[in-house]
Amino acid sequence: MNIGIDLGGTKIQVGIEHEGKIIHKTKALLKEKNDLHSTLNQVKQFIKPLTAHEVEGIGIGVPSVVDVEKGIVYNVTNIPSWKKVALKDILEQEFKLPVFVNNDVNCFAIGEHKFGKGKDYSNMVGLSIGTGLGSGIIIKNKLYAGVNCGAGEIGLLPYLNHNIEYYASGNFFSAEYQTTALDAFTAAKNGEKEALEQWKAFGQHFGAAVQVVMYTYDPQAIVIGGSVANAYPFFEKAMRESFSDFIYPESFKKLKIHLTKNEDIALLGAAALVDLPVNATNKAI
């Protein structure tokens, strides 16, 4: 059994992976994000009760660039105090267990590949749509993270007047319509025409993001997760319509697009880090 931790910009989730399921799960909002000592203590307090069980190691996904070998995280998204944190060393000294650190969306992709909708594919991409847009890349059953754990940051590519993430994440609704993705989702469920048009526009932009994935990685499947994915029925049609100008239409005919069905998939992926080598691109998952 391994401990898995999903550290987000606003919350923390912790649990133990046992036979492909998460047990002893706890979650809470992350407190005092401007104070490194306080946030680290909160993380430790969540982990400590789980170490009473027979666990082999700790895996943690963090929304940042990660030095995977040394377990150092840099400029963690929405946690201002985490500029450069030697997370692996800190947690190993505290709990006397091996600790493995990676990007949170990489953990999502690993989780889907090992335990979820990506199990049947050797080449897949996990796309997580939340406040931002992240992706994790699996090539020939291996996580491809790049030299600096920065591969897959397609959201930062230039697009229209900003970048892809501006238009293909929850940020789109606040930036363009002065609302939130959640409010737009609720309004769309109520049949409000304005909200439905907003999701149509979002789908067109998200379709452009999917095209970037196809041009760069050409996977067998894309698995979509994140909070905004709940609104998939409202943007799927526009997304698929945007594929009409893709230069290689046969590729899209073969592509499988799935929605994640497991709310614990990122925790499962984080726990799976314990069983991967330090350089996760060197061995099949």
Asked if 202 contacts 172 with a C-beta cutoff of 8 angstroms, the reply is yes
- What Cα–Cα distance (Å) separates residue 49 from each residue in 17, 41, 58, 213? 15, 13, 13, 40
Q: What's the average model confidence in pLDDT over 27-49?
A: 93
Asked if 41 contacts 118 with a C-beta cutoff of 8 angstroms, the reply is no
- What Cα–Cα distance (Å) separates residue 257 from each residue in 8, 171, 267? 25, 23, 22
Q: Which residue has the higher pLDDT, 30 or 178?
A: 178
- What Cα–Cα distance (Å) separates residue 24 from each residue in 43, 63, 273? 15, 23, 18
> Tell me, what's the pLDDT at 277?
61
Find the helix packing angle between 265-272 and 104-115, rounded to 10°. Answer: 90
Q: Where are the beta strands (DSSP E) in 68-195?
A: 72-74, 84-86, 99-103, 124-129, 133-139, 142-144, 158-159, 162-163
> Tell me, what's the pLDDT at 237?
98
> Tell me, what's the pLDDT at 31?
86
Confidence of residue 284 (pLDDT cuts 50, 70, 90): low
Instruction: Report whether pLDDT(279) > 50.
Output: no
Closest CA to 69 of 148, 141, 1: 148
> Tell me, what's the pLDDT at 285?
58
The encoded tokens of residue 27 equal: 């979650």
Residue 119, number of CB atoms within 10 A of its CB: 10
How confident is the model over 171-202, as pLDDT tens digits?
A: 999 999 999 999 999 999 999 999 999 999 99
Instruction: Report whether pLDDT(283) > 80.
Output: no
Question: Per the confidence metrics, is the pTM higher than 0.85?
Answer: yes
Instruction: Report whether pLDDT(281) > 90.
Output: no
pLDDT over 70 for what percent of the chain? Answer: 97
Longest dimension (CA), the chain: 56
> Tell me, what's the pLDDT at 28?
92
Looking at every residue in the chain, the average pLDDT score rounds to 93
Instruction: Report whether pLDDT(276) > 90.
Output: no
> Tell me, what's the pLDDT at 150?
87
Instruction: Report whether pLDDT(52) > 50.
Output: yes
Confidence of residue 282 (pLDDT cuts 50, 70, 90): very low
How confident is the model over 211-268, as pLDDT tens digits?
A: 999 999 999 999 999 999 999 999 999 999 999 999 999 999 999 999 998 999 999 9
Contacts of 244 (CB under 8 A, 6+ apart): none
Q: Where are the beta strands (DSSP E) in 40-197?
A: 58-62, 65-67, 72-74, 84-86, 99-103, 124-129, 133-139, 142-144, 158-159, 162-163
Instruction: Report whether pLDDT(165) > 80.
Output: yes
Q: What's the average model confidence in pLDDT over 162-174?
A: 97
Q: Measured between alpha carbons, how far is 242 from 196 in angstroms, rounded to an integer? A: 17
